């Protein structure tokens, strides 16, 4: 079988060898077995179902949530001579009907459909009448409410195992923490199926994250000193900042183009083409840029603003160094980013149930830990994707390569941990910070916590400073988030056995805290 697959790989897709687990996955699916494929963006997930689609009898049905991506993939396949087509809301009813007729006649190897179309009674009836090679569920994390991209129609894909139990299902995603993964297995009934989990580590990427002082100058220095004359992407949050930054780079003799959704399509397309074909051009863009971009020699991705999640950060930085040669992921951030993201997270999840709001808050915390960590950057990054981090430190990130200014915050950590202990391990972070900062809120008074020994002992740090301390105690497993037994909405923090050594002063806690997190002068040391 694998020799057939190899032939297709060479003759249709033009590649000489399978990458990573591709061959194994393809053999598995061709044999008619279902599986979950967790592979980073750019890892080569598509071939894992495209080749089985060609090797198995019948038509493969690919469920994909993004119209643009669908059209792009189909166009590429058609150019390679594969009989592929898509069915989505962009087609007229007549065109869709024509596609359905040809489907019945068995004229396609692959049909890409949007989930809402798949769920219609009409389409399902059509599927009952034709031989189906497999179902590929792309972006499978969309089934989960815990993920960052929940789509209700995806949740209904449980009809696939129910109505078509014999057809192999291959669920693919680049982002799934343990909870999301469990949801995918449940929704698509893949408990008996194999999971293929690839590493998310990108060893050739050097991660650097620094506090923002003057971001333009910092960017210019970074490009000039490390990537002069090389192609890169600079991400900004706002369209205006995109345009201003591109103009600024150009005025400093760095050829730059702008790209954002507010620009005229023809200009956007022209800029994209120039960037893809040119050499040493810097694309300054919003997150609208990059989906489906296939340029292997992008040498750096710079972020002038914090992206909205670790997923976005990973995906955007992942566009650098696809050729495996050294590349940089560089970012500046400041307190403004944290305020912006917190308010976006809160307003975006305001009407959702408490556990989902907490999951969103925890995702934001994970991103902030990545920024503030004093250990290898790969630790929080790979932790987030549930990957073992045994081989760290990496030797290829700022924390590993440079001496970073850190502060010993053991005393603050001890205060935080004692406060958790004294209040019975029943409360969430914000409430505990109120106590430490000596705020006599109604809730504090109700519980009588204005009379305990840890009330008001934490004036040395600002609220954000305390959040950093708590976030790290969580990230470093001195605290765990349990259920809130005091009836509030936040998760209750509880001590782990490791917390004892911090309380006894046997373990020192060091963090990257900047001046604005202090309410009073704090000693600064270096490691
Ligand atoms: P994903 O869906 O995981 O993000 P894609 O399937 O789009 O990744 O593949 C990313 C890029 O890698 C594409 O340009 C694809 O053609 C290329 N690719 C995939 N498999 C191989 C391979 N075995 N050898 C070389 N290039 C490959
Ligand atoms: Zn490192």
What CATH number is associated with residue 269? 3.40.50.300
**Ligand in closest contact with the CA of 50:** 1
Task: Give the per-residue pLDDT at 483.
Answer: 63
Task: Give the per-residue pLDDT at 137.
Answer: 97
Q: Examine the domain organization and report whether 258 and 366 are in the same domain.
A: yes
Q: Over 50: is that where the pLDDT of 525 sits?
A: no
For residue 130, give Cα distances in angstroms to 27, 86, 145, 513, 520: 23, 17, 32, 62, 72
Q: Within a domain: residue 398? A: no
Task: Give the per-residue pLDDT at 392.
Answer: 84
The average pLDDT across 341-362 equals 85
Q: Examine the domain organization and report whether 81 and 152 are in the same domain.
A: yes
Q: Is the CB of 333 under 6 A from ligand 1?
A: no
Task: Give the per-residue pLDDT at 527.
Answer: 37
| Domain boundary residue, one of 347, 367, 392 | 392
Distance of CA 37 from the midpoint of ligand 1 (Å) = 14
Q: Examine the domain organization and report whether 427 and 355 are in the same domain.
A: no
Residue nearest to atom 27 of ligand 1 (CA): 44
Q: Within a domain: residue 84? A: yes
Task: Give the per-residue pLDDT at 486.
Answer: 52
The average pLDDT across 461-484 equals 84
Q: How far apart are CA 163 and CA 155, in angstroms?
A: 15
Q: Is the CB of 20 under 6 A from ligand 1?
A: no
Q: Over 60: is that where the pLDDT of 388 sits?
A: yes
Q: Is the CB of residue 334 less than 8 Å from the CB of residue 364?
A: no
**Ligand in closest contact with the CA of 373:** 2
Distance of CA 390 from the midpoint of ligand 2 (Å) = 12
| Domain boundary residue, one of 181, 197, 213 | 197
pTM: 0.78
Q: Which atom of ligand 1 is nearest to the CA of 43?
A: 3
Task: Give the per-residue pLDDT at 84.
Answer: 97
Q: Examine the domain organization and report whether 248 and 173 are in the same domain.
A: no
Residue 245 or residue 144, greater confidence: 245
Q: Examine the domain organization and report whether 179 and 307 are in the same domain.
A: no
Compute φ and ψ for 480, nearest 5 degrees. Answer: -125, 155
Q: What single-letter DSSP state applies at residue 237?
A: S
Q: Is the CB of residue 300 less than 8 Å from the CB of residue 227?
A: yes
The average pLDDT across 303-325 equals 93
Q: Examine the domain organization and report whether 320 and 447 are in the same domain.
A: no
Q: Examine the domain organization and report whether 141 and 240 are in the same domain.
A: no
Residue nearest to atom 26 of ligand 1 (CA): 15
Q: Within a domain: residue 522? A: no
Helix (H/G/I), strand (E/B), else coil: 165: coil
Residue nearest to atom 25 of ligand 1 (CA): 15
Task: Give the per-residue pLDDT at 97.
Answer: 93
Q: Examine the domain organization and report whether 189 and 278 are in the same domain.
A: no
Q: Examine the domain organization and report whether 240 and 385 are in the same domain.
A: yes
Q: Within a domain: residue 397? A: no
Residue nearest to atom 5 of ligand 1 (CA): 44
Residue 337 or residue 487, greater confidence: 337
Q: Over 80: is that where the pLDDT of 491 sits?
A: no
**Ligand in closest contact with the CA of 292:** 1
**Ligand in closest contact with the CA of 44:** 1
Nearest to 331 by CA among 344, 313, 345: 313
Q: Is the CB of 6 under 6 A from ligand 1?
A: no
Task: Give the per-residue pLDDT at 413.
Answer: 95
Domain limits at 465?
Answer: 406-512
Q: Is the CB of 402 under 6 A from ligand 1?
A: no
Residue nearest to atom 12 of ligand 1 (CA): 44
Q: How far apart are CA 191 and CA 25, in angstroms?
A: 17
Distance of CA 303 from the midpoint of ligand 2 (Å) = 19
Q: Examine the domain organization and report whether 190 and 210 are in the same domain.
A: no
Distance of CA 421 from the midpoint of ligand 2 (Å) = 33
pLDDT band at 95 (very low <50, low <70, confident <90, very high): very high
Q: Within a domain: residue 432? A: yes
Residue 180 or residue 161, greater confidence: 161
| Domain boundary residue, one of 197, 228, 249 | 197
Q: Is the CB of 47 under 6 A from ligand 1?
A: yes
Q: Is the CB of 18 under 6 A from ligand 1?
A: yes
Task: Give the per-residue pLDDT at 521.
Answer: 46
Q: Work out how many domains the chain is built from and give that number.
A: 3
Task: Give the per-residue pLDDT at 523.
Answer: 43
Q: Which of 196-205, 243-252, 278-287, 360-369 has the lowest mean pLDDT?
A: 360-369
CA of residue 125 relative to chain centroid, distance? 36
Task: Give the per-residue pLDDT at 526.
Answer: 39
Q: How far apart are CA 430 and CA 493, in angstroms?
A: 11
Angle 14-18-19 (CA atoms, 0-180°, nearest 5)? 115
Q: Within a domain: residue 247? A: yes
The average pLDDT across 10-36 equals 95
Q: Is the CB of 44 under 6 A from ligand 1?
A: yes
Q: Which atom of ligand 1 is nearest to the CA of 18?
A: 23
For 102-140, what is each residue's pLDDT tens digit? Answer: 999 999 999 999 999 999 999 999 999 999 999 999 999
Helix (H/G/I), strand (E/B), else coil: 174: coil
Q: Over 70: is that where the pLDDT of 72 sits?
A: yes
Q: Is the CB of residue 395 less than 8 Å from the CB of residue 207?
A: no
Task: Give the per-residue pLDDT at 516.
Answer: 60
Distance of CA 66 from the midpoint of ligand 1 (Å) = 18
The average pLDDT across 213-227 equals 95
Distance of CA 233 from the midpoint of ligand 1 (Å) = 20
Distance of CA 144 from the midpoint of ligand 1 (Å) = 25
Pairing mode of beta strands 132-137, 169-173: parallel
Computed over every residue of the chain, the mean pLDDT equals 90
Q: Within a domain: residue 326? A: yes
Percent of the residues in the chain that have a pLDDT greater than 90, as a whole number: 68
* 195: enclosing H helix or E strand: strand 194-197
Residue 489 or residue 77, greater confidence: 77
Task: Give the CATH number, domain containing residue 425.
Answer: 1.10.10.10
Q: Examine the domain organization and report whether 495 and 361 are in the same domain.
A: no
Which of the listed residues 46, 173, 174, 293 should we mutate to test ligand 1's pocket, taking the one with most ligand atoms within 8 A of CB?
A: 46
Q: Within a domain: residue 521? A: no
Q: Examine the domain organization and report whether 296 and 334 are in the same domain.
A: yes
Give residue 448's region: left, alpha or beta (phi > 0; psi -120 to 50): left
Give residue 350's region: left, alpha or beta (phi > 0; psi -120 to 50): alpha
Q: Is the CB of 200 under 6 A from ligand 1?
A: no
Residue 225 or residue 336, greater confidence: 225
Which of the listed residues 44, 112, 139, 198 should we mutate to test ligand 1's pocket, taking the one with most ligand atoms within 8 A of CB?
A: 44
């Amino acid at each position: 079988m694998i020799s057939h697959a190899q032939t297709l790989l060479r003759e249709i897709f033009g590649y000489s060898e399978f990458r990573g687990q591709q061959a194994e996955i393809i053999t598995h699916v061709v044999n008619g077995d279902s599986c979950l494929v967790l592979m980073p963006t750019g890892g080569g997930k598509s071939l894992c179902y495209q080749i089985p689609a060609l090797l198995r009898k019948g038509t493969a049905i690919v469920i994909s949530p993004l119209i643009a991506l669908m059209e792009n993939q189909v166009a590429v396949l058609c150019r390679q001579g594969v009989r592929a087509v898509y069915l989505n809301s962009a087609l007229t009813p007549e065109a869709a009907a024509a596609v359905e007729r040809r489907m019945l006649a068995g004229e396609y190897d692959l049909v890409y459909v949007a989930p809402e179309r798949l769920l219609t009674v009409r389409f399902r009836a059509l599927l009952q009448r034709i031989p189906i090679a497999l179902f590929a569920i792309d972006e499978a994390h969309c089934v989960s409410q815990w993920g960052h991209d929940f789509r209700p129609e995806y949740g209904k894909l449980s009809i696939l195992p129910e109505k078509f139990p014999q057809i192999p299902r291959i669920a693919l995603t680049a982002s799934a923490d343990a909870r999301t993964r469990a949801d995918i297995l449940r929704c698509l009934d893949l408990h008996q199926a194999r999971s293929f989990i690839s590493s998310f580590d990108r060893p050739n990427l050097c991660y650097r994250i620094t506090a923002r002082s003057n971001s333009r100058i910092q960017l210019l220095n970074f490009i000039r000193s490390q990537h002069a004359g090389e192609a890169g992407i600079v991400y900004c949050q706002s369209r205006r900042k995109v345009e201003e930054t591109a103009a600024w780079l150009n005025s400093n003799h760095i050829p730059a183009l702008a790209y954002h959704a507010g620009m005229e399509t023809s200009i956007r397309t022209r800029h994209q083409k120039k960037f893809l074909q040119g050499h040493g051009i810097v694309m300054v863009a919003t997150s609208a840029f990059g989906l489906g971009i296939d340029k292997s020699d992008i040498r750096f991705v710079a972020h002038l603003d914090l992206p909205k999640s670790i997923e976005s950060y990973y995906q955007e930085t992942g566009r650098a160094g696809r050729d495996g040669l050294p590349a940089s992921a560089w970012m500046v951030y400041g307190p403004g980013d944290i305020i912006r993201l917190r308010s976006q997270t809160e307003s975006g999840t305001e009407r959702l149930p408490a556990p989902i709001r907490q999951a969103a808050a925890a995702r934001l915390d994970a991103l902030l830990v990545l920024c503030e960590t004093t250990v290898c950057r790969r630790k929080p990054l790979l932790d987030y994707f549930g990957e073992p981090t045994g081989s760290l430190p990496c030797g290829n990130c700022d924390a590993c390569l440079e001496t970073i200014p850190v502060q010993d915050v053991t005393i603050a950590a001890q205060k935080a941990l004692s406060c958790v202990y004294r209040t019975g391990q029943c409360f969430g972070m914000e409430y505990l910070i109120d106590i430490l900062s000596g705020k006599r809120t109604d809730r504090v008074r109700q519980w009588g916590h204005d009379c305990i020994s840890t009330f008001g002992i934490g004036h040395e740090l600002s609220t954000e400073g305390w959040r950093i301390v708590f976030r790290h105690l969580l990230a470093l497993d001195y605290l765990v988030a349990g259920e809130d037994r005091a009836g509030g909405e936040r998760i209750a923090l509880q001590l782990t056995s490791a917390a004892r050594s911090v309380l006894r002063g046997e373990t020192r806690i060091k963090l990257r805290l900047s001046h604005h997190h202090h309410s009073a002068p704090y000693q600064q040391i270096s490691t």
